[in-house]
Amino acid sequence: MGKDTLTGLKVSHAMRKQVIVLEPGDTIDCCIQYLIKYKINALLIGNDGETPLGVVSKSDIMGAWYAGLPLSTPIEMIMNSPPLFCGSDDTLDSALDTMKTNNIYRLYALEKNSNSVVGALAYPDIVGLLYHYCSQCDQGIFNKTKEISNDRIKRYKVHEIMTKKVESCKEDASLESVVEILSGSRFGAILVSDDQNYPKGVISKTDITLCFRHGQDLSVPAGTIMSTPVASCFEKDPVESAIKTMILKDLHRLFVIPKENKSVSGVLSLTDAARLRSGSCHACITSRIRVDKS
Amino acid sequence: MKTIAKDVMKTNFKTLSPDSPISEALDIFKRSKKDGKTIFGIMVTDQDGAIAGMISMYDILLFLLPKHVKIWGNISDIEIEGIIDRTADKLKNFLVGDIMTPKVISVTPDTHLMMILDIMIKKHVRRLPVVSSGKPVGMVYISDLFNHLLERV
């Protein structure tokens, strides 16, 4: 297997140490509150001090709403069991392979030779680590003293790694149909566009769980609950610059447009960026050694 | 000497509904500072008056905190005003019930002060709601406990 920026790095370098655990009897309402409070997409279910029993994600909550379950439903009714684990000492490459093979977005890290959960690893955490190196690297586009036009390093552009398929709906589509589309795809958000396919807003799974909590009806039109404006970037932007925008603005994705006043051609998420296993270039494979020592 | 919660609890406290906008909580925090009695946490009660949670300055600051904060130390060109403006804009869509702490540790009016001290130290909390028949009747602050218990020292 080829070398990439993450080669040799361990799960413990990127994982979040704060792991939120709820009890099986806690309600969906309580679960949504914690997901919002800690800005996470899933949380662990377990009894105090015992091996975790399962995971509940925003997708599970969206499914519960669609199925007509009330907010008072215990989360053990909708959790996915068992959770998938990795070791905090495992390599990030092997953790990414596990996530890809199992089609999952996060792993919980166990302490070496123990059953204690010491962290959670999701795609954005890996991107955060990659960006950490890019931001310190002399070859990074934000630190480069020489003109970027004289730059001989091959830098990834957004269009090279973006997902070209974009799920979209019109403003008058019902929230119910939005939930159906999102449940049937791997996307975390849907683009709301007008008749000319011009982006008007976005509805994410976070927006949907919030609507559920606020007692909204599934029949409301998408246009009434969408978030605006649509965060976007250009196809030719360097990946590093798009990642910086997402990290600084707390966004999980940017919709991609070829150039100004054009319709959306793709979407770049932190998941896409993590799967690249690199920042904008591979310069940091060598420079990282220096970064780690500093 | 005063020995139980009801001896030291403050009975003058504000409450919010889970459906209140977060701006209402911010107003109470700001007003309390102006009045010279800064409060750091407000009890949230449901339509029956029962305690549903607590919203603190910490909860609001947690919302303000960017997700990938651990790498922010490396970025020097950040405009903090922009972050706060964006958060303020996002906050408009959220209610007190969305970001409050729903699992609140509470005591009863008869709880012994040493028991309260033990909870505050073990759970790292600075205030405890005093609840009678599910409804809040007061709040014990660590500062009141400190002043009362150390009066004799």
ipTM over 0.85: no
A26 and A82 assigned to the same domain: yes
The verdict on A71 touching B (C-beta cutoff 8 Å) is: no
- Which residue in B68, B99, B100 is closest to A128 by CB distance? B68
Amino acid at A79: M
- pTM score of the predicted model: 0.85
Average pLDDT over all residues of chain A: 85
Distance CA A243, CA A249 (A): 10
Q: Which of A7, A16, A17 is nearest to A91 (CA)?
A: A7
A98 and A185 assigned to the same domain: no
Residues 194 through 253 of chain A touching chain B, CB cutoff 8 Å: 210, 213-214, 227, 244, 247-250
Q: Answer yes or no: is A141 within a domain.
A: no
Distance CA A134, CA A139 (A): 8
Q: Answer yes or no: is A31 within a domain.
A: yes
Q: What is the pLDDT of residue B73?
A: 58
A165 and A99 assigned to the same domain: no
Q: Answer yes or no: is A232 within a domain.
A: yes
Q: Which of A265, A250, A69 is nearest to B91 (CA)?
A: A250
Q: What is the CATH number of the domain that holds A216?
A: 3.10.580.10
Q: Answer yes or no: is A214 within a domain.
A: yes
Which residue of A214, A216, A292, A294 to mutate against B (max B Cβ within 10 Å)?
A214
A224 and A268 assigned to the same domain: yes
Q: Answer yes or no: is A286 within a domain.
A: no
**Domain boundary residue, one of A122, A150, A168:** A122
For range B138-143, the mean pLDDT: 93
Q: Answer yes or no: is A189 within a domain.
A: yes
Give yes or no for residue A169 having a pLDDT over 70: yes
Q: What is the DSSP string of B70-124?
A: GGGGG-----HHHHHHHHHHHHTT-BHHHHSBSS---B-TT-BHHHHHHHHHHHT
Give yes or no for residue B68 having a pLDDT over 80: no
The answer to whether the CB of A22 falls within 8 A of the CB of A31 is yes
Q: Token digits for A111?
A: 């302490």
How many residues are there in chain B? 153
Give just the sign of the alpha carbon dihedral A179, A181, A187, A192: negative
Give yes or no for residue B55 having a pLDDT over 90: yes
Minimum CA–CA partner of A136 in chain B: B74
Cα separations in angstroms, A200 against A123, A147, A233? 27, 36, 15
Confidence grade of residue A293 (pLDDT, cut at 50, 70, 90)? very low
Window from A45-54, A111-120, B128-137 with minimum mean pLDDT:
A45-54
A99 and A195 assigned to the same domain: no
pLDDT in tens, A204-250: 999 999 999 999 999 999 999 999 889 999 999 988 888 888 887 88
Q: Answer yes or no: is A60 within a domain.
A: yes
The answer to whether the CB of A205 falls within 8 A of the CB of A181 is no
Average pLDDT over all residues of chain B: 88
Q: Which of A226, A167, A170, A231 is nearest to A201 (CA)?
A: A226
Q: Answer yes or no: is A144 within a domain.
A: no
Q: Residue A149, SS3?
A: helix
Count CB-CB contacts under 10 A for residue A136: 17
Higher pLDDT, A215 or A259: A215
Distance CA A206, CA B61 (A): 19
**Domain boundary residue, one of A75, A94, A122:** A122
Q: Which of A244, A242, A235, A238 is nearest to A281 (CA)?
A: A238
Give yes or no for residue A159 having a pLDDT over 50: yes
Orientation of helix B57-64 relative to helix A28-37, angle to 10°: 60
How many residues are there in chain A? 294
B98–A38: do the CB atoms touch at under 8 Å? Answer: no
Give the count of domains, chain A: 2
A108 and A175 assigned to the same domain: no
B97–A124: do the CB atoms touch at under 8 Å? Answer: no
Cα separations in angstroms, A137 against A142, A179, A232, A286? 9, 42, 26, 10
The verdict on B92 touching A (C-beta cutoff 8 Å) is: no
A69 and A176 assigned to the same domain: no
For range A95-101, the mean pLDDT: 90
Distance from CA of B100 to the nearest CA of A (A): 8
A102 and A193 assigned to the same domain: no
A209 and A269 assigned to the same domain: yes
Residues of chain B contacting residue A213, judged by C-beta atoms under 8 Å apart: 97-98
Nearby residues of B64 by Cβ (< 8 Å), 6 or more positions away: B83, B84, B87
Q: What is the pLDDT of residue A100?
A: 87
Give yes or no for residue B47 having a pLDDT over 80: yes
Nearby residues of B141 by Cβ (< 8 Å), 6 or more positions away: B10, B126, B127
What value, to the nearest 5°, has the Cα angle with vertex B114 and ends B113 and B120?
Answer: 90
A163 and A75 assigned to the same domain: no
Confidence grade of residue A150 (pLDDT, cut at 50, 70, 90)? low
A165 and A83 assigned to the same domain: no
Q: Token digits for A282?
A: 């591979």
Residues 21 through 80 of chain B touching chain A, CB cutoff 8 Å: 59, 62-63, 66-68, 70-71, 74-75, 78
Q: Token digits for A121?
A: 């690893």
For range B97-124, the mean pLDDT: 94
A163 and A271 assigned to the same domain: yes
Minimum CA–CA partner of A30 in chain B: B102
Distance from CA of A30 to the nearest CA of B (A): 7
Widest pairwise Cα distance in chain A: 61
- Which residue in B63, B68, B98 is closest to A213 by CB distance? B98
The answer to whether the CB of A209 falls within 8 A of the CB of A252 is no
Amino acid at A88: S
Provide the domain limits for residue A83: 11-122
For range B3-20, the mean pLDDT: 93
